[in-house]
Amino acid sequence: MIEFHLDGRSGVAPYLQLIHQVRQALRLGLLAEGDQLPKVKDVAAGLAINPNTVLKAYRELEYEGLAAARPGVGTFVTGTLAGASLAAHGPLRHDLQRWLAKARRAGLDDESIEALFVSTFRAAGEEGVA
Protein backbone atom coordinates (compact mmCIF):
# COMPACT_ATOMS: atom_id res chain seq x y z
CA MET A 1 0.00 0.00 0.00
CA ILE A 2 1.27 3.45 -0.84
CA GLU A 3 1.14 6.51 1.39
CA PHE A 4 0.12 9.88 0.03
CA HIS A 5 1.71 13.20 0.89
CA LEU A 6 0.73 16.74 0.00
CA ASP A 7 2.83 19.71 -1.00
CA GLY A 8 0.89 22.72 0.22
CA ARG A 9 3.15 25.19 -1.55
CA SER A 10 3.19 23.61 -5.00
CA GLY A 11 0.03 25.37 -6.17
CA VAL A 12 -1.12 22.05 -7.66
CA ALA A 13 -4.66 21.10 -6.64
CA PRO A 14 -4.60 18.38 -3.93
CA TYR A 15 -6.66 15.88 -5.97
CA LEU A 16 -4.18 16.22 -8.84
CA GLN A 17 -1.30 15.57 -6.47
CA LEU A 18 -2.98 12.33 -5.36
CA ILE A 19 -3.56 11.22 -8.96
CA HIS A 20 0.03 12.05 -9.82
CA GLN A 21 1.32 9.98 -6.90
CA VAL A 22 -0.74 6.96 -7.94
CA ARG A 23 0.44 7.25 -11.55
CA GLN A 24 4.01 7.64 -10.36
CA ALA A 25 3.71 4.54 -8.17
CA LEU A 26 2.25 2.60 -11.11
CA ARG A 27 5.09 3.69 -13.34
CA LEU A 28 7.70 2.66 -10.83
CA GLY A 29 6.00 -0.64 -10.16
CA LEU A 30 5.25 0.22 -6.52
CA LEU A 31 1.61 -0.47 -7.29
CA ALA A 32 0.43 -3.36 -9.42
CA GLU A 33 -2.88 -4.62 -10.69
CA GLY A 34 -5.04 -5.87 -7.83
CA ASP A 35 -3.39 -3.70 -5.16
CA GLN A 36 -5.68 -1.73 -2.93
CA LEU A 37 -5.41 2.05 -2.75
CA PRO A 38 -5.53 3.62 0.73
CA LYS A 39 -9.10 3.94 2.05
CA VAL A 40 -10.72 7.33 1.55
CA LYS A 41 -11.25 7.69 5.28
CA ASP A 42 -7.60 6.93 6.04
CA VAL A 43 -6.29 9.40 3.46
CA ALA A 44 -8.67 12.13 4.70
CA ALA A 45 -7.69 11.51 8.31
CA GLY A 46 -3.98 11.11 7.59
CA LEU A 47 -3.53 14.24 5.52
CA ALA A 48 -6.34 16.28 7.13
CA ILE A 49 -7.97 16.81 3.74
CA ASN A 50 -11.56 16.75 2.59
CA PRO A 51 -12.69 13.19 1.79
CA ASN A 52 -14.36 14.56 -1.36
CA THR A 53 -10.89 15.46 -2.64
CA VAL A 54 -9.80 11.83 -2.30
CA LEU A 55 -13.03 10.59 -3.89
CA LYS A 56 -12.49 12.95 -6.78
CA ALA A 57 -8.96 11.68 -7.36
CA TYR A 58 -10.14 8.05 -7.23
CA ARG A 59 -13.02 8.77 -9.62
CA GLU A 60 -10.57 10.32 -12.05
CA LEU A 61 -8.35 7.24 -11.82
CA GLU A 62 -11.41 5.06 -12.46
CA TYR A 63 -12.23 7.16 -15.49
CA GLU A 64 -8.70 6.62 -16.78
CA GLY A 65 -9.18 2.89 -16.32
CA LEU A 66 -6.43 2.65 -13.73
CA ALA A 67 -8.61 1.81 -10.73
CA ALA A 68 -12.02 0.43 -9.84
CA ALA A 69 -14.11 0.80 -6.71
CA ARG A 70 -15.56 -2.26 -5.01
CA PRO A 71 -18.44 -0.94 -2.93
CA GLY A 72 -17.90 -1.48 0.76
CA VAL A 73 -14.38 -2.81 0.27
CA GLY A 74 -12.26 -0.10 -1.30
CA THR A 75 -10.61 1.02 -4.50
CA PHE A 76 -8.27 -1.29 -6.35
CA VAL A 77 -5.71 -0.88 -9.10
CA THR A 78 -6.92 -2.33 -12.40
CA GLY A 79 -4.41 -0.96 -14.86
CA THR A 80 -0.73 -0.49 -15.21
CA LEU A 81 1.53 2.19 -16.61
CA ALA A 82 4.88 0.44 -16.35
CA GLY A 83 4.07 -2.52 -18.58
CA ALA A 84 6.91 -4.51 -20.08
CA SER A 85 9.32 -1.59 -19.71
CA LEU A 86 9.53 -2.22 -15.95
CA ALA A 87 12.24 -4.83 -16.46
CA ALA A 88 14.42 -2.19 -18.09
CA HIS A 89 14.14 0.13 -15.09
CA GLY A 90 16.93 -1.53 -13.12
CA PRO A 91 19.71 -1.21 -15.70
CA LEU A 92 18.53 2.28 -16.70
CA ARG A 93 18.55 3.38 -13.08
CA HIS A 94 22.07 1.97 -12.77
CA ASP A 95 23.23 3.93 -15.83
CA LEU A 96 21.63 7.06 -14.46
CA GLN A 97 23.33 6.63 -11.11
CA ARG A 98 26.69 6.31 -12.84
CA TRP A 99 25.95 9.39 -14.91
CA LEU A 100 24.94 11.32 -11.77
CA ALA A 101 28.15 10.35 -10.01
CA LYS A 102 30.09 11.55 -13.04
CA ALA A 103 28.22 14.85 -13.09
CA ARG A 104 28.96 15.38 -9.39
CA ARG A 105 32.65 14.65 -9.93
CA ALA A 106 32.61 17.28 -12.69
CA GLY A 107 31.42 19.77 -10.07
CA LEU A 108 27.74 20.13 -10.98
CA ASP A 109 25.37 20.87 -8.10
CA ASP A 110 21.78 19.55 -7.87
CA GLU A 111 20.30 22.52 -9.64
CA SER A 112 22.76 22.34 -12.54
CA ILE A 113 22.15 18.60 -12.93
CA GLU A 114 18.41 19.13 -13.05
CA ALA A 115 18.73 22.01 -15.52
CA LEU A 116 21.03 19.97 -17.76
CA PHE A 117 18.74 16.97 -17.66
CA VAL A 118 15.57 18.96 -18.37
CA SER A 119 17.11 20.93 -21.24
CA THR A 120 18.59 17.79 -22.82
CA PHE A 121 15.28 15.96 -22.35
CA ARG A 122 13.45 18.81 -24.10
CA ALA A 123 15.96 19.09 -26.93
CA ALA A 124 15.82 15.32 -27.52
CA GLY A 125 12.01 15.51 -27.56
CA GLU A 126 12.08 18.23 -30.17
CA GLU A 127 14.43 16.29 -32.40
CA GLY A 128 12.15 13.30 -32.14
CA VAL A 129 14.86 11.17 -30.58
CA ALA A 130 13.05 10.46 -27.31
Which residues of the shown chain bind another protein in the complex (CB under 8 A)?
Answer: 6, 8, 11, 14, 40-41, 44-53
- How far is 24 from 66, CA to CA, in rounded Å? 12
Shortest distance in whole angstroms from residue 9 CB to another protein: 9
Contact 1, 54 (CB under 8 A): no
Q: Letter for the amino acid at 89?
A: H
Which of 40/67 has CB closer to another protein? 40
Q: Letter for the amino acid at 68?
A: A
Shortest distance in whole angstroms from residue 46 CB to another protein: 7
Q: Letter for the amino acid at 130?
A: A
Which of 21/53 has CB closer to another protein? 53
Shortest distance in whole angstroms from residue 74 CB to another protein: 13
CA-to-CA separations, 27 to 33, 49, 66, 82, in angstroms, rounded: 12, 25, 12, 4
Shortest distance in whole angstroms from residue 40 CB to another protein: 6
Which of 48/106 has CB closer to another protein? 48
Which of 10/97 has CB closer to another protein? 10
For 39, the 3-state DSSP assignment is coil
